[in-house]
A and B are shown apart, each in its own frame.
Chain A
Amino acid sequence: MNERDLLDRVTRVPGVRGVLLVDAADGLVVAEQLMDGVDGRAAAALAGSLVGRLTRTAQQAGHGRPSFVHLRAEAGSVLAAPGPDDLVLVAVIAPDANVGLARLEMIDAAGRLG
């Protein structure tokens, strides 16, 4: 399964507005499937930074790497699933999205990266 197929699986979940594969160390987009109005470069840079800081926080607390990040905001959520080699799968979802299904698909997809 290639990167496009992995992004396709997450994008098909109802309410998902966009999915990106991000290099967290550089904060750059590796691959993306986004609806209009979602700034992929900004999402990649900020989500990469967020996951990097949360990873350091979790490791300092002795909990290891985070397996999933859910950032809930007023008008939707940002989900992130860290994979191997500093890759992070990031999804931008609407407030009425099926978060549970998106989470399952993202964790499965992140496990197939690399």
Chain B
Amino acid sequence: MRALEPWVVDPLQAFLAESSARLALLMTSSGQVVAQHGFSRSLDVMTAAALGAGIVASTEELARLMGSARFEAVVHHGIGQSCMLAAFPTPRGRWIGLVVFGPETSVGIVQLFFNQMVQQLVAAAPREQAPPPMLAENFESELDASLKALFGR
């Protein structure tokens, strides 16, 4: 498990232990990766983050068009494995969780412990405001540093 911010580690580790999820990805609503577990290639995690953020944005717009509140979660059921996407507010802005799980657990268990993780993240988040996202002059080197932090190489 890799995380860019250390206060994310404990809640995410507890979620992984309790839910038996296979893959987990925490990202901002713009698709910037905050933490990941189970992905072995940086290309996979960046692609999953971009697609997940896009799906959440699409479903939230769909909900708006239907005149309803935001969807709580989107679950894709599969035979071998399933996928849950859920957005949630944190003191650092709106984040998205992407969780892949198999038949060894259930969507009810994943949702239950995901909600507990969200509560722990909100409680653990530092209250000072994170710097706003922008493409800085050293964007490429910062991206490289983030990927090294997430994948340990």
Contacts and interface: CB of A to CB of B under 8 A. Distances in A.
A41 B107 contact: no
Please classify the interface of chain A as helix (H, G, I), strand (E, B), loop, or mixed, using the class held by over half of its residues: helix
Contacts of A48: 106, 108-109
Interface in B79-114: 105-109, 111-112
B114 to A, nearest CB: 11
Interface in B103-134: 105-109, 111-112
Contacts of A49: 105-106, 108-109
B14 to A, nearest CB: 15
Please classify the interface of chain B as helix (H, G, I), strand (E, B), loop, or mixed, using the class held by over half of its residues: helix
Interface of A: 24-28, 41-42, 44-46, 48-49, 52
A20 to B, nearest CB: 11
A26 B106 contact: yes
5 contacts: A27-B112, A46-B112, A48-B106, A49-B108, A49-B109
B17 to A, nearest CB: 14
Interface residues of B, number: 7
A46 B107 contact: no
B112 A41 contact: yes
Identify the 8 closest CB pairs spanning chains A and B, nearest first: A27-B108, A45-B108, A27-B106, A45-B112, A45-B109, A28-B108, A26-B107, A27-B109
Contacts of A42: 112
Contacts of B109: 27, 45-46, 48-49
A52 B106 CA distance: 10
Given A26-B108, A44-B108, 17 more contacts: A25-B106, A26-B106, A26-B107, A27-B107, A27-B109, A27-B112, A28-B107, A28-B108, A41-B108, A41-B112, A45-B108, A45-B109, A45-B112, A48-B109, A49-B108, A49-B109, A52-B106
